Amino acid sequence: MNSSFILAPEGYDMRDVDPWSPLYEAKTYGTILAANIVRRREIENQGDTWEIEFPHHPGVFGLVPEAQTGLPDGAPMSNMVGATINVKVMGVDRQEGIAACSRKEAVEQYLAKLVRKLAIGERIPGLVKFLGVGGVYTDIGGGVLVKISEEQARISRGVPLDVQYQADDRVELIVKRLDLGAKAIEVDLVNPWERWVFNRGEILLGKVVTIREKLAFIRVKPGVIGLVPNRKSGGFTLGEQIKFQVNAFDPQTRKLHLVEWNPDKARQRRREIVKSKSRRVNKGC
């Protein structure tokens, strides 16, 4: 009798009974699957390795060795733990209960498409994945990561890079170089101080990201940091998200001066303006 014989119960698909079946199919047809990185571990003879799970195929896990991560040189593997990635199944060992996978194969497939489709000078969206040594790593599509150097990414002077950018920030990029042979893409960051306009008197939502004595640094857009006088009593709290009013904006010098929005004071000022206008009208009569 063949102990490996499996028959799905009536009314069920084999996929519901045998979670490994879709992985065999993915390996055969080169299908790209979504997976979650759940651990970075050291494996003998393989070195640093990601352990991954498949959200659509519970009970199955895979391994992605360092050589198959598809990360740019110098990008730390640890920063991707918890992320959802695209992988190709390279091998299945059902007895050991693991699937050998490659993110590199999936990324190179998408990279080839991007190199063919994009044009130099084209503006494209990017999603900040993480900050690494010397720069910001941004996904431009399909897991293709490009590094924006720290020098270029540091838009707001005097503010740490990890304050200006956070994971999942959306940024605008411009294609600088395309190399079809090497399947390489280089991009520049579109200066957000030139992209956004803030008019005096506007009310906006900002997040307190740094406090230095009498000043607080307020993050209003990825890369755009405003300054506001710290509260005289109690001060601001890091991470606090509140409303501010624009006092002055100069994109050339990259300065955005804010004041904390106080609706009571605003109403009082409006009343004073109305009274002032009324007095002028009465004097004219």
Please list the residue range(s) of the chain that carry CATH number 2.40.50.140.
14-105, 118-190, 197-264
Q: Which CATH number applies to 118-190: 1.10.10.60, 2.40.50.140, 2.20.25.90, 2.40.37.20?
A: 2.40.50.140
The length of the chain is: 285
Strand arrangement, sheet containing 145-149? 145-149, 135-139, 123-132, 170-179, 184-189
Q: What fold characterizes domain 14-105? A: OB fold (Dihydrolipoamide Acetyltransferase, E2P) (2.40.50)
Which pLDDT belongs to residue 1?
44
Give the Cβ contact number of residue 125 at 10 Å: 12
Q: What fold characterizes domain 197-264? A: OB fold (Dihydrolipoamide Acetyltransferase, E2P) (2.40.50)
pLDDT-derived band at 256 (thresholds 50, 70, 90) equals: very high
Q: What average pLDDT does this structure show over 12-32?
A: 79
- pTM equals 0.76
Residues of the chain with pLDDT > 90, as a percent, come to 49
Q: What average pLDDT does this structure show over 261-269?
A: 71
pLDDT tens for 104-154 read 999 999 999 999 999 999 999 999 999 888 889 999 999 999 999 888 888
> Cβ-count burial of 148 within 10 angstroms (0-12 exposed, 13-18 middle, 19+ buried)?
buried
pLDDT tens for 161-210 read 888 888 888 999 999 999 877 778 999 999 888 888 999 999 999 999 88
Q: Cα(45)–Cα(48) distance, rounded to whole angstroms?
A: 10
Query: Could you say which DSSP state residue 230 is in?
Result: P
> Cβ-count burial of 170 within 10 angstroms (0-12 exposed, 13-18 middle, 19+ buried)?
exposed
Q: Cα(66)–Cα(68) distance, rounded to whole angstroms?
A: 5
